[in-house]
Amino acid sequence: AAKNEGRSIIKTFEPVMLYDRQLRTLMASELRDAIGTDQLCVHYQPIVNLRDGSVNGVEVLVRWNHPTRGMIPPDSFIPLAEEIGAISEVDRWVMATALQQYAIWRAALLVPENFQVRVNISAIELRQLDMVDFVRGLLKRMSVPPPSLVIEITESALVSGGEVETYSLLSLKQLGVCIEIDDFGTGYSSISYLRNLPVDMVKVDRSILREPATGSWQPDFVAAVFQLIRAAGLGAVFEGIETQEQADFLRSLGEISGQGFYFSRPLPEPAVTELLRSGNALPLGPAVQS
C-alpha cells in the first residue's frame, strides 16, 4: 500500500505504533515542537470540473515532514493532535497557509473567479467558540472573498454536533463561507440531515466509488447517490476517481466536480502553481506524482 500513497510519503510510521506508550509520548512532544516550524507543510490536490477538465479548486492536505521518520500522512498524526489538544493550532495554521497561497495565486491572475480552496477541519475545531472569529479575521486580512473558502467537515462531526457546532455552522454560513460534508456515506447516519443541516455541498467518500473490500464499482449505485444529493439541493463532489471509466461515467451524470489520482495526486505548492500557470487541463498522465 505504501507505493500507492505517492513517492513523498514514506511509510516508516504506522498509526498502530501509537499503542506503544513511550513512542506516543515522544511523538506528542515532537508534534508540539513541529507546529509553527517548517516541518508541517501542505499539499494541494486539484479539484476538476469534470465537464471540461479545468481546475476549479484545490483541497489542502497537511503533512508532517519529520526529520528522521520521513513524511507522515495526516491520518497518522491528526488523531494524535486531537488527543493532545493541538488540532486547533494545526487546522488554523493550514487554513492561514492555504489562504495566503490563494491570495498569491489570485494576485498573479492564476485562478478563475469561481476557484475554491477547500480545507478540512476537525470536529474539535468546529467546537471552539472563537473559530468563526478566526475565519472572519483571516478572510479579511488576506482579502479573500468568503465564498472562495470551502470548509470540509466529516459527516460524523456534523451529525453528532451540539449547540456550539450548530452556532458555528450558521455563523460560517452567514459569513458566506461554503460548507461541505466530507466523507459522505461512511458515518452510519440517517440521510435526513442532508435537508436539515446548513451545508452547501457534499463530498462523496471514495468508498462509494470503489468497494474497498472487492475493488469493484457499481455505476447504478454511484448514480443514485448523486441523485440523492441533487434532490437535497446540494452540490456534489466525488473523491477517489482513479480511472477514466469512472471519470467518464460521472461526467455523464451532470454537473460534478471531482478529485482523484486519475487527475492528479496532491501536489506540493510549486507543482500546483506550475499547473495553474500552464493552464494544463487534467489528467496530467501517470508520469506526474507528488
Q: Which does 94 bind (CB under 5 to 8 A by kind): ligand C2E, Mg ion, none?
A: ligand C2E
- Cβ atoms of 238 and 219 closer than 8 Å: no
Question: In angstroms, what is the minimal distance from the CB of 86 to ligand C2E?
Answer: 11
Return the number of the residue (73 or 283) whose C-beta is nearest ligand C2E: 73
Task: Indicate whether 121 belongs to the interface with ligand C2E (CB under 6 A).
Answer: yes
- 46, 71, 91, 142: which one contacts ligand C2E (CB under 6 A)? 91
What is the enclosing helix (H) or strand (E) of 257? strand 257-258
Cα end-to-end span (Å), the chain: 16
Q: Which among 77, 37, 85 has a CA at the least distance from the CA of 61?
A: 77
- Cβ atoms of 46 and 237 closer than 8 Å: no
Task: Indicate whether 161 belongs to the interface with ligand C2E (CB under 6 A).
Answer: no
DSSP 8-state secondary structure symbol assigned to residue 16:
G
| Identity of residue 60 | V
Return the number of the residue (45 or 101) whose C-beta is nearest ligand C2E: 45
- 38, 75, 163, 220: which one contacts ligand C2E (CB under 6 A)? 75
Binding site residues, Mg ion, CB under 5 A: 120, 152, 182-183, 239
Return the number of the residue (13 or 261) whose C-beta is nearest ligand C2E: 261
Count of residues touching ligand C2E (by CB under 6 A): 24
* C-beta contacts of 161-165 below 8 A and 24+ residues apart: 161/123, 161/126, 162/127, 164/126, 164/127, 164/129, 165/123, 165/126, 165/127
Alpha-carbon distance 124 to 121, whole Å? 8
Task: Indicate whether 45 belongs to the interface with ligand C2E (CB under 6 A).
Answer: yes
Task: Indicate whether 236 belongs to the interface with ligand C2E (CB under 6 A).
Answer: no
Task: Indicate whether 155 belongs to the interface with ligand C2E (CB under 6 A).
Answer: no
Alpha-carbon distance 255 to 230, whole Å? 10
Alpha-carbon distance 28 to 77, whole Å? 9
Task: Indicate whether 72 belongs to the interface with ligand C2E (CB under 6 A).
Answer: no
- Cβ atoms of 179 and 200 closer than 8 Å: yes
Site of grid cell 487541463: 281
Task: Indicate whether 148 belongs to the interface with ligand C2E (CB under 6 A).
Answer: no
Write the binding mask 2 to 41 for ligand C2E: x where contact by CB under 6 A, - elsewhere.
----------------------------------------
SS3 label, residue 152: strand
Return the number of the residue (109 or 204) whose C-beta is nearest ligand C2E: 204
Task: Indicate whether 290 belongs to the interface with ligand C2E (CB under 6 A).
Answer: no
Among 103-111, 187-195, 213-221, 238-246, the segment contacting ligand C2E (CB under 6 A): 238-246
Residues in touch with ligand C2E (CB under 6 A): 45, 61-62, 73-75, 78, 91, 94, 120-122, 152, 182-183, 206, 239-242, 259-261, 266
